[in-house]
A and B are shown apart, each in its own frame.
Chain A
């Protein structure tokens, strides 16, 4: 540790050139200083506080004024999404539209079903008559899979 500190202290041997030092000193001292207007720290504090407060107030007024303008203005550049009256009117008309479309659908679907049923009964009413269907089933004698008539018909076809 001590050796390192000793080694570091040896860097003190680095010194600036005398000519440079004299020339630089002369140039520095002969240069003009910047004019700094002195202002007590308290005054500058108050000034900073007032500036910050007034800027914040101006920003708030600007934001509120902007919203107020958008709300009241009738210009086409007004954003529709921000206009509450338009939004309310749209919401109400949406409900009415839904109900009307429902009624129209029910009316139309009733008519369609009625037409379809009439058409079916007219074209092939047998399928809808339960009694007829039962009769048909009995005639077929489904419980006897080896019907003699069927066997006869099949052997005729094969011959």
Chain B
């Protein structure tokens, strides 16, 4: 994908809409998921995702292929849009205010009830870790992004991302363990 992606970006920079369309198709579900996990509301997530890609399309000429991967650039835009969203609208934690019907809605018909409950548990546990730790966990384990790309997206060093990831996993493990203890 990387070589193909570079060509697509070059073509998109030159104004070829179809090329950006391909980039959109590949990255949009990931960006949407990232935003949804941060915002917790399906409609708001859709709005922000749309804004991210609109902004990316309008500013693609300012993107430097050799400086940062395209995915990191998109995540950076998404992160800033989410920050803007919270600044202007809701000062509450995204996970806590998550749309209860979002996962069970028609958007996710493949999810079984059991799986949905499991998802709910993870979401609740994620709400108890910091925003930064949430970003790292989503990018690393939900989206399978390499550490370097996560570091570039979050403007951090690779070492810092590793440390955040280590702390986040341990904290999440502890929270889930405590919740299991309470349930049993």
Q: Do A and B come from one complex?
A: yes
**Stretch in contact with the other chain, from A13-21, A49-57, A60-68:** A13-21
Specify which chain B residues have a CB less than 8 angstroms from the CB of A21 in the assembled complex.
28-29
Specify which chain A residues have a CB less than 8 angstroms from the CB of B24 in the assembled complex.
25, 28-29
CB of A13 within 8 A of CB of B115, answer: yes
- Mark B42-59 against chain A: 1 for CB-CB distance below 8 A, else 0: 100110011001100111
Specify which chain B residues have a CB less than 8 angstroms from the CB of A16 in the assembled complex.
28-29, 32-33, 45-46, 49, 107
Nearest chain-A residue to B32 (Cβ)?
A16
Given contacts A4-B172, A14-B37, A31-B58, contact A24 B108 (CB under 8 A): no
Query: Taking chain A's interface residues, is the majority helix, strand, or loop, or is none over half, making it mixed?
Result: helix
- Mark A10-43 against chain B: 1 for CB-CB distance below 8 A, else 0: 1111111100110011011101011010100000
Please tell me the number of chain A residues within 8 Å of chain B, measured between CB atoms. 26
CB of A24 within 8 A of CB of B46, answer: yes
Specify which chain A residues have a CB less than 8 angstroms from the CB of B59 in the assembled complex.
34, 36
Which residues of A84-127 are within 8 A (CB) of B? Answer: none
- Mark B93-121 against chain A: 1 for CB-CB distance below 8 A, else 0: 00000000001001110110001001101
- Identify which of B58, B60, B115, B137 contacts A8 (C-beta below 8 A): B137
* Chain A nearest CB, measured from B97 CB (Å): 16
Specify which chain A residues have a CB less than 8 angstroms from the CB of B53 in the assembled complex.
24-25, 28
- Chain A residues with a Cβ under 8 A of chain B: 1, 4-5, 7-17, 20-21, 24-25, 27-29, 31, 33-34, 36, 38
